[in-house]
Amino acid sequence: MKIFLKTPEEIKKLQAANQIVARVLDACEAAVRPGVSTWDLNEIADRELQRAGATSAFLGYHGYPAVLCTSVNEVVVHGIPRKDLILQEGDIIGIDFGCFKEGYCGDAARTLPVGRVSAEAQALMDATRESLERAIAHCVLGNRLQDIGWAVQSYVEERGYSVVRSFVGHGIGQAMHEDPQVPNYGTPGRGLRLREGLVLAIEPMVNQGLSEVEVLADRWTAVTRDRSLSAHFEHSVAITAEGPYVLSRPHG
């Protein structure tokens, strides 16, 4: 395991990349409504990416064919944008985007309602978003890595949801995926001691039903095995002496 701790200068570059990610996600979010295809969202993301002079972290990654992941309803992560997948009122959609700017990577995701959604779907998204905020609050010196996963797991399981175990968050820097892995479950007080300059992409994936996931024949689309709804939120977070610094939080 090779962990790269980042200098303040590197954290500035990671923030620049992540602020592009935030703008791309904002542009996609503004376009989400019934009748739009997931491919339309990919085109919006691609246009914003070019405008920012950045390059995709996803396109070509292990052969991934788009710049955006679009994960609708029972899709947990890694849904591939399609012209024939038209968003319907009541769907929920996860949008996940990553890019490189000046050699540093940004990565973030959010799940959104399409028009009016059921109270159950909204509650799942709210709990997943809040679990990420609780995880971020645990990104302080003196804590350990599994405190982060515990914060997610304890919050969502208390509400009857389950945490996906087969995908995890990750360190991020000059590569999209660096050590350490950041599971969304854990035992408090265990794991790597959090250090100044550690930058983590924390990304809870939370299912309404059981935690098991399967990958479809396209080799990317990960769905809940019981086809229950799933939500996903991700932020890239720097651990500093002043506390957690959420690099991908939109600044406006």
Q: Which region among 54-62, 136-144, 211-219, 238-246 touches ligand MF3 (by CB under 6 A)?
A: 54-62
Say whether residue 100 binds ligand MF3 (CB under 6 A): no
Q: Choose between 74 and 107: whose C-beta lies nearer to Co ion.
A: 107
Q: Which region among 60-68, 128-136, 148-156, 158-166 touches ligand MF3 (by CB under 6 A)?
A: 60-68
If you search the block for the tokens 């059921």, which residue do you land on?
A: 118
Residues 104-163 that bind ligand MF3 (CB under 6 A): 107, 109
Kindly state the tokens that stand for 116.
């009016």
Say whether residue 78 binds ligand MF3 (CB under 6 A): yes
Within a 10 A sphere around the Cβ of 196, how many other Cβ atoms? 13
Which does residue 2 bind out of ligand MF3, Co ion, none, counting CB within 5 to 8 angstroms by kind? none
Q: Choose between 13 and 232: whose C-beta lies nearer to ligand MF3.
A: 232
The only residue of 13, 42, 54, 58 in contact with ligand MF3, by rule CB under 6 A: 58
Residue 167 corresponds to which amino acid?
A: F
Paired with 171 in beta bridges are: 178, 200
Residues 105-144 that bind Co ion (CB under 5 A): 107
- Closest residue by Cα to residue 4 from 148, 236, 179, 142: 179
CA 222 from chain centre, in angstroms, equals 14
> What are the φ/ψ torsions at residue 123 (nearest 5 degrees)?
-65, -40
Q: What is the DSSP string of 26-44?
A: HHHHHH-STT-BHHHHHHH
Kindly state the tokens that stand for 4.
């790269």
Say whether residue 232 binds ligand MF3 (CB under 6 A): no
Residues that bind Co ion (CB under 5 A): 107, 201
Residues that bind ligand MF3 (CB under 6 A): 58, 61-62, 64, 69, 78, 96, 98, 107, 109, 201, 234
